[in-house]
Amino acid sequence: MNLGLGTQREPKELRPRIFIVGGFFLLGLLVLAVNLYRLMVVRYEEFLALSVDNQFKDVRVRSPRGLIRDRRGEVLVDARPSLDVFITPAFCQKCVLEVIPRLEALLGWTPDQRDRVLELVKSARGPQRYQQIVVQVDLTRDEFDLLNAHQYQLPGVDLEPVPHRHYRSGDALAHVLGYMNEVTSEELTKLNSASVERPPYAMGDYTGRRGVERSFEQYLRGQDGWVKQVVNARGEVMRDASGNVLKRDEVAPRPGRNLVLSIDARLQSEAERVFPGTAGALVAIDARTGFVRAMVSRPSFDPNEMTGRVSPQRLVQLNKDPLQPMVFRAGAQHYSPGSTFKVVTLLAALQSGTFSEQSGVTCGGGYQLGSRRWRCHKESGHGLVHAHEAMKMSCDTYFYKASDAMGIDPIAEVGKALGLGSVTNFGVAAEVPGVMPSTAYHNRVTPGGYTKGMALNTSIGQGDVNVTPLQLAVVYAAIANGGHVYQPQIVERIESAEGQVIEQFGPRLVRTVPMTDEQHRILVDSLIAVVNEPGGTGYRSRLTDVTMAGKTGTAQVAKLGAVRLKTSQMSYWERDHAWFASFAPAQEPELVIIVVNEHGGHGGTDAAPAASAVFRKYFELKRLDGEAFGIEYQPPKTPPAVKAPLLTPPLVAPGDVAGNGLAQQDTGAGIERDPVVTKPVIAATPAPPPDVARPPVQPGEPAEPPPEDPEGR
């Protein structure tokens, strides 16, 4: 029976070929084996490293930025949650067709906004598709609820609270506190070039841009932590069975340092409230240390808006505003000081021996030098004046005469010694040096060189002399304290996040201007007379229970015409700057206040009242603080050791369950409170008295008197 196998001879001739085929197969397997050896043994280390790289993703744990507080602990700058909308393109199904139009409708986007988001989502490629893209920041509560309600129609859209810098005082102190925005890529390379290991900054990080935020960036910014999280090929973070993220090599973030400013927030808000004009500055510094207690610069901007929330249109608007809100008027704008400069002229006259206290000048309403007549502000003249009256009534003729006698250089010498013509090294904000003219200066700058008339102009704070309010504050502090020129400062200390003092800044004495007690007395007395004697230019702003010393100033902006115009008859830009420079108490000076009201009118009426209001507040606060701190501070009692709950009474009434539960929780928490007395109402009480609500773990940080409080003594 043949089943189709025609030739049933044994295929002997195939045998050698089978061996050849077998040899070939084994050779093939050998090739594979050798290749495996090459990969798995020779290059093992290399591939193992790559597989570890694959497995772990370095995730940055952001460190919280330090807070900025005032000297009493009140928070000026902290973080608030900003509800932001994110899209993760990889998880966003039908993103372009459905999700984004839906978001557009829900959030009321303009077509421009929508196109920007579309562009962002479409341009994400590869692993970028698993990264969140911010599409809108700062949702309102209503928008948040709306999106939350539609979350099932919005796959791949996340709503997350993100910490955002919050400037609690709004536009107050904006120039000093500064603001933040994203680092540029050039800055990034520069900032990260120093560190070999992990770069401190990443794309999208914010950095301080002005003020304290910028100059103390390295302190405020903490150190980001790192954690190696196990991720799969899709970049999803892996979790163990109980839902914890699998991680390794955790480096905890170090929170940024807190800054304590020398500002008193209460004084600051009073200064903001009473500041009279549209533009100008108020500077209040401690006469004995140079620390700034309040600082107003008007008009201002809102750092909350500038911190990553500002539109290009708004930026243009801010920069084109003729009032220049971005300019830090206390330090980066200089003005003719007007009559407030006369203390410098008087001190120069006394020191150069040109005048003594008894030297008298008869004012006939002006002073003749050569063919020109320099007018005094009172056309009818002041009659015979000495230093005291000249200062009190701000008689120009007296100072014309003095400068005519001594020339410009003694004035310049004293002015420069007091810090004029150079920056004060305030440090946290931009400054201009101002101008303190001298013979050399005029020979260099003015066509025709120095002439006597320039000295005359300078002597009354006109002409080329220009000062910043901050410089003037330093000058008056030096006059008040007997010649000590301090560098103005605003940061008192740097604290760790836990409140330990890391660095304490003391007063920095720049130099001491030699000044005899006699000269000091003459100057202070004359300044007291300005405010406290009838006929003084600042008499209306005198204080009742403290002696204030001060000097008004009215700095001309436009050239005087033939006819004197009243303030109301001039256009805004032609009006005079109103100045008031003051310190109090006059004999034991504590606070120096400089007010400049740009185009405000007269110093006596448009600047001095603000200064006296701030002084009133200052001394009121001092009295209040003194009373408050006068009470001996008692630390909270340590909680009594709570016994273990007894079995009796064995049964708990149903209504009491919550109360008992809370009372039992108290055992570990150590809350200073008798568990029986306060049991059920803890959560229900809307506003518990502060001493009860405060956890005793931090023993009343704000209520404790600051360790070095000069005002309290």
Partner 1 sequence: MQLSAQRRVAVSNVPWVLVGGVLLTAAVGIYNLASASRPPSSPVWMSQVLYLGVGIALIIGISLVDYRFLQRATVPLYLLNIVALLGLKLFGHTAKGAESWFVVGPFRIQPAEFMKIGMVLMLAKYFHDDDRPNQPAQGFLRLIPAAAIALFPTAIVLVQPDLGTALMMVFTALTIILFSKPTWPVWVGLGVAFLLGMGVLWNDYVREQPQEDRFTVIRHKLKKHQDARISGWLDPMSDLRGSNYHAMQSKIAVGSGGWSGKGWMEGTQTGLRYLPEQHTDFIFSVFAEEQGFGRSLMLLMLYGVILVGGLGVALSAKERYGAFVAVGICAMIFWQVFENIGMVTGLLPITGITLPLMSYGGSSMVSVMIGIGLLVNVSMRRQMFRR
Query: Segment near partner 1 (CB under 8 A), from 42-50, 60-68, 154-162, 674-682?
Result: 42-50
Query: Segment near partner 1 (CB under 8 A), from 43-51, 79-87, 98-106, 451-459?
Result: 43-51
Q: Which is nearer to partner 1, 36 or 624 (CB)?
A: 36
Alpha carbon 439 to chain centroid, angstroms = 40
Identified binder of partner 1 from the candidate list 146, 149, 238, 440, rule CB under 8 A: 238
Tokens representing 486? 């301090």
Identified binder of partner 1 from the candidate list 93, 184, 232, 516, rule CB under 8 A: 232
Query: Segment near partner 1 (CB under 8 A), from 11-19, 94-102, 336-344, 419-427?
Result: 11-19
Q: How many CB atoms lie within 10 A of CB 84?
A: 18
CB of 248 to partner 1, least distance (A): 12
As a whole number of angstroms, the distance between CA 13 and CA 17 comes to 8
- Residue 572: which region, alpha, beta or left (left: phi > 0; alpha: psi -120 to 50)? alpha
DSSP string covering 636-647: PPPPPPPPPPPS
Query: Segment near partner 1 (CB under 8 A), from 5-13, 413-421, 465-473, 679-687?
Result: 5-13
CB of 5 to partner 1, least distance (A): 5
Q: Which is nearer to partner 1, 5 or 683 (CB)?
A: 5
Query: Segment near partner 1 (CB under 8 A), from 8-16, 377-385, 586-594, 692-700?
Result: 8-16
Residue 359 binds to partner 1 (criterion: CB under 8 A): no
Residue 540 binds to partner 1 (criterion: CB under 8 A): no
Q: Which residues contact 181 (CB under 8 A, 6 or more apart)?
A: 206, 207, 209, 306, 307, 308
Identified binder of partner 1 from the candidate list 97, 108, 119, 126, rule CB under 8 A: 126
CB of 6 to partner 1, least distance (A): 7
Of residues 48 through 107, those in contact with partner 1 by CB under 8 A are 48, 50-52, 54-55
Residue 43 binds to partner 1 (criterion: CB under 8 A): yes
As a whole number of angstroms, the distance between CA 385 and CA 397 comes to 9
Q: Which is nearer to partner 1, 123 or 148 (CB)?
A: 123
Residue 7 binds to partner 1 (criterion: CB under 8 A): yes
Q: Which is nearer to partner 1, 28 or 81 (CB)?
A: 28
As a whole number of angstroms, the distance between CA 265 and CA 295 comes to 10
- Amino acid type, 525: D
Alpha carbon 141 to chain centroid, angstroms = 27
Alpha carbon 660 to chain centroid, angstroms = 47
Q: Which is nearer to partner 1, 9 or 637 (CB)?
A: 9
Tokens representing 565? 């115009």
Identified binder of partner 1 from the candidate list 8, 242, 380, 648, rule CB under 8 A: 8
CB of 20 to partner 1, least distance (A): 8
- Please state, in angstroms and as integers, the Cα–Cα distance from residue 596 to each residue in 89, 336, 377, 497, 702, following that order: 55, 10, 19, 37, 33
- Residue 177: which region, alpha, beta or left (left: phi > 0; alpha: psi -120 to 50)? alpha
CB of 197 to partner 1, least distance (A): 25
Residue 245 binds to partner 1 (criterion: CB under 8 A): no
CA-nearest of 378, 485, 392, 471 to 426 is 471
Q: Which is nearer to partner 1, 8 or 571 (CB)?
A: 8
Tokens representing 523? 């100057």
Is there a contact between 578 and 600 (Cβ–Cβ < 8 Å)?
yes
Is there a contact between 676 and 666 (Cβ–Cβ < 8 Å)?
no
Backbone angles phi, psi at 230, to 5 degrees: -80, 125
CB of 10 to partner 1, least distance (A): 5
CB of 130 to partner 1, least distance (A): 13
Beta strand pairing call for 68-69 and 258-261: parallel
Q: If binding means CB under 8 A, how many residues of this protein chain bind partner 1?
A: 48
CB of 40 to partner 1, least distance (A): 4
Q: Which is nearer to partner 1, 243 or 650 (CB)?
A: 243
CA-nearest of 300, 302, 294, 298 to 280 is 298
As a whole number of angstroms, the distance between CA 531 and CA 583 comes to 11
Q: Which is nearer to partner 1, 5 or 653 (CB)?
A: 5
Q: Which is nearer to partner 1, 43 or 372 (CB)?
A: 43
Q: Is 180 helix (H, G, I), strand (E, B) or coil?
A: strand
Q: Which is nearer to partner 1, 234 or 373 (CB)?
A: 234
Identified binder of partner 1 from the candidate list 95, 122, 137, 233, rule CB under 8 A: 233
Q: Which is nearer to partner 1, 2 or 544 (CB)?
A: 2
Residue 679: how many CA atoms within 13 Å on its side-chain side? 12
CB of 108 to partner 1, least distance (A): 38
CB of 18 to partner 1, least distance (A): 5
CB of 26 to partner 1, least distance (A): 6
Binding mask 660-679 for partner 1 (x = CB under 8 A): --------------------
Residue 3 binds to partner 1 (criterion: CB under 8 A): yes
Q: Is 298 helix (H, G, I), strand (E, B) or coil?
A: strand
- Please state, in angstroms and as integers, the Cα–Cα distance from residue 706 to each residue in 9, 246, 628, 651, 689, following that order: 113, 45, 12, 50, 23
- Amino acid type, 501: V
Q: Which is nearer to partner 1, 230 or 570 (CB)?
A: 230
For the chain, the C-alpha Rg in angstroms (whole number) is: 37
- Please state, in angstroms and as integers, the Cα–Cα distance from residue 61 to each residue in 197, 254, 255, following that order: 16, 10, 11
Q: Which is nearer to partner 1, 55 or 678 (CB)?
A: 55
Q: Which is nearer to partner 1, 231 or 607 (CB)?
A: 231
Of residues 192 through 231, those in contact with partner 1 by CB under 8 A are 230-231
CB of 247 to partner 1, least distance (A): 14
Residue 44 binds to partner 1 (criterion: CB under 8 A): yes
CB of 9 to partner 1, least distance (A): 7
Q: Which is nearer to partner 1, 13 or 119 (CB)?
A: 13
For residues 560-580, one letter each, b for 16 or more C-beta atoms within 10 angstroms of the residue's C-beta and e for the rest, the string is eeeeeeebeeeeeeebbbbbb
Q: Which is nearer to partner 1, 13 or 517 (CB)?
A: 13
As a whole number of angstroms, the distance between CA 470 and CA 427 comes to 12
Residue 646 binds to partner 1 (criterion: CB under 8 A): no
As a whole number of angstroms, the distance between CA 409 and CA 414 comes to 9
CB of 491 to partner 1, least distance (A): 47
Of residues 12 through 41, those in contact with partner 1 by CB under 8 A are 13-15, 17-18, 21-22, 25-26, 28-29, 31-33, 35-37, 39-41
CB of 42 to partner 1, least distance (A): 9
Is there a contact between 176 and 285 (Cβ–Cβ < 8 Å)?
no
Of residues 581 through 600, those in contact with partner 1 by CB under 8 A are none
Residue 234 binds to partner 1 (criterion: CB under 8 A): yes
DSSP H or E run through 584? strand 577-584
CB of 121 to partner 1, least distance (A): 20
As a whole number of angstroms, the distance between CA 489 and CA 262 comes to 8
CA geometry: angle 626, 630, 631, nearest 5 deg: 140
- DSSP-derived letter for residue 504 is E
Tokens representing 280? 């100008």
Name the site residues for partner 1 (rule: CB under 8 A).
1, 3-11, 13-15, 17-18, 21-22, 25-26, 28-29, 31-33, 35-37, 39-41, 43-44, 46-48, 50-52, 54-55, 126-127, 230-234, 238
